[in-house]
Structure 1
Amino acid sequence: MTFSANLGFLWTELALPAAIEKAAAAGFDAVEFHYPYAQNRAAVKAALAATQLPVMGLNTERGEAGQNGLAALPGRQAEARALIDQAFDWAADLGARNVHVMAGFASGDAAREQFIANLNYAADVGERAGVGVLIEPLNAFDAPNYFLNRIDQALAILAEVDRANVRLMFDCYHVARTEGDILAQFDHARARIGHVQFAGAPDRGAPDLGAVDYAPVFAHIAASGWDQPLGAEYKPGGDTDQSLGWLASLGTA
């Protein structure tokens, strides 16, 4: 397996360029970001060029404090699309493969219609930029009232949007918390998956801790033909370097 370091959780005490260098030194094959927008973009690009690490993706901004994206919020279309434009501008400039369009806290038919409209907008922007679009169900324990919270809900939205460049972010951690059977859900969603992430469950620590045995999970994902880096999106609980023992033990799974 190959792995991508999610620098939204790993080496967060460092500026993003230094964190990219740390990921390369640790042996990661790629990086991904949450919200890089306050960083010096030129310095981030220089670090990516120096390390030659690809960028698997980044997120649209959350919006105001207490929000978790705007794309599914009725009445916020102009703001949501400004955040989409910002994210794709950064993604194209950094050579990122995907943008995760954050839905936000919302519910109901109007929210669903708004989310689909904004995903179609993002698909158009992404096609011009050469960057994919991702959506991700978040578990209701960590993100109560987040609009998108289950795999089948996401698959239904993807079917309605029906754009080749709009795909599912399959986070093993969120699936483990909400739906339990990671392997069954992975197989169910496999044709629409655009990126895979993982963390220990239920505490979102390193993948060699917690209730999920990731050795068979990674082996199953590899056996499906998946050959892209898997995103390590976990909370190290202190020093990131001290949390990386799993790279050796699970990297051969």
Structure 2
Amino acid sequence: MRFSANLGFLWPETPLPDAIRAAKNAGFDAVEMHWPYDVPAGEVKAALEETGLPCLGLNTRRGETRGLSAIPGQGVAAREAVDEAVAYARAIGAGAVHVMAGIAEGPQAETAYRETLHYACDAAPDLTILIEPLNRYDAPGYFLTTTGQAAVLIDAMGRANLKLMFDCYHVQVMEGDLTRRFGDIREIVGHVQFAGVPDRGRPDRGEIAYDRLLPALDWDAPFGAEYRPEGATEASLDWLRDWR
């Protein structure tokens, strides 16, 4: 198995270029980011080239509403957020952009979301555009909450580069039955993330046996470690050494 370090949660106290170097030293095969926009893209690209780690992806800005894409009346700002994320991703060589939906509901929200996603797919045919269901406990009111809802949306839109971010943590909290759930929608999955349940802590603790689950999934790319370590990140990495 190969693993990607999500630098939104891992080494959070470390400047992003140094966090990339720390991930390399720890034995990760790739990195991914949340919102790297305060760091010049050139510095991030230099650290990626130095370490040889690929960057799998990054998010559109979160803001106060967990994104803008599904919020009616925010189309211009949502497209600007997409443009920013796509430009940054291209500058550092990242492969995907997660377009965050935002806190919204109803038919108008779905229309707004689809319009933004079509825009993103058109603007970045060279990138994977990801959507991610978030559980209703960590993200109350978020527009996208289940893999079923995401699958219907992806099917209806018919865009080749629009894929699902399968976050095992969120899916377990909302739906469970991870192995079967993943198998049913494997063809639309664009990235896989994981964290301990129920506290989003280190993945070798909690209710999911990832050491058995992850090898059982039909997935050849790196799995994204998106968990919150207690204390120093290095002290939480026993699982990485054991599972490799």
Residue pair 1:123, 1:163 contacting (<8 A) in 2 also: yes
Question: 2:205 matched to which residue of 1?
Answer: 209
- How far apart, in 1, do the equivalents of 2:182 and 2:18 lie? 34
Residue pair 1:68, 1:105 contacting (<8 A) in 2 also: yes
Of 75, 83, 86, the residue aligned with 2:84 is 86
Residue pair 2:45, 2:93 contacting (<8 A) in 1 also: no
Residue pair 1:57, 1:96 contacting (<8 A) in 2 also: yes
| TM-score normalised over the length of structure 2 | 0.99
Of 102, 112, 115, the residue aligned with 1:114 is 112
Please list the CA deviations of residues 118-158 of structure 1 after superposition, one character each: whole Å capped at 9, or x if unmatched. Answer: 1000000111xx21100000001100100000010000110
Task: List alignment gaps of at least 5 residues for structure 2.
Answer: none
Question: 2:100 matched to which residue of 1?
Answer: 102
Question: 1:50 matched to which residue of 2?
Answer: 50
- How far apart, in 1, do the equivalents of 2:209 and 2:193 lie? 15
> Which range moved further: 36-45 or 235-244?
36-45
Question: 2:235 matched to which residue of 1?
Answer: 242
Task: List alignment gaps of at least 5 residues for structure 1.
Answer: none
Residue pair 1:35, 1:59 contacting (<8 A) in 2 also: yes
| TM-score normalised over the length of structure 1 | 0.95
- How far apart, in 2, do the equivalents of 1:48 and 1:248 lie? 22
CA offset at residue 40 of structure 1? 2.3
Displaced runs of 4 or more, over 3 A: none
Matched-pair identity in %: 51
Q: CA RMSD in A?
A: 0.7
Question: 2:15 matched to which residue of 1?
Answer: 15
- How far apart, in 2, do the equivalents of 1:230 and 1:192 lie? 16
Q: SS at 1:134's partner residue?
A: strand
Once the two structures are superposed, the pairs formed by residues 55-204 of structure 1 within 5 Å of their partners are 55-63=55-63, 66-127=64-125, 130-204=126-200
